[in-house]
Amino acid sequence: MSRNKERGMHKVAEILRSAGIRPTAQRIAIAQYVLREADHPTAEDVKAHLDRVFPMVSTATVYNTLNALVEHGLIRAIKFPHADAAIYDQKMHHHYHFLDEPSGRLYDVDPADVQVKPQLGATCEITEVDVLIRGRLIDPGLSGPSTTVSPT
């Protein structure tokens, strides 16, 4: 294990501890991946990654840990209509998503770059607006949409 990665693991352990989650080796490995390395993974993606770096972690442990991370506000679980499984997002600030349909990859989109003006009248109170923009990258060699989502 590289020194940088080892330092990262210590930091992840601290994040878990301060969220009130006991940092076992398995939980650290799961959180390290979801919080630091992965990009909108599903639970299946997390399990597949764990099978490579930390074999013998059960699917139940993966789900329980992901649920604990969601409950403690470290990640969000988002269900999109295009996929059966929820995806996990470590970016907790409000943002939209662009789906590159050929690759299935999700990109973060700054809500300031999308104009959504619901005209629902006075009978509804809107608590949140989720937007999934579908399309394809014109040049897959380039990185995603030219929008920057600033972390809070």
Binding site for Zn ion (CB under 5 A): 89, 91, 108
Q: What gap in Å lies between CA 117 and CA 6, rounded to an integer?
A: 46
Q: What gap in Å lies between CA 116 and CA 39, rounded to an integer?
A: 25
Query: C-beta of 86: minimal distance to Zn ion in Å?
Result: 13
Query: C-beta of 39: minimal distance to Zn ion in Å?
Result: 8
Query: 82 or 91, CB closer to Zn ion?
Result: 91
| Tokens encoding 8 | 């990262």
Q: Where are the alpha helices (DSSP H) in the chain?
A: 3-19, 25-32, 43-53, 59-71
Query: C-beta of 2: minimal distance to Zn ion in Å?
Result: 27
Q: What gap in Å lies between CA 38 and CA 9, rounded to an integer?
A: 15
Query: 5 or 135, CB closer to Zn ion?
Result: 135
Query: 79 or 91, CB closer to Zn ion?
Result: 91
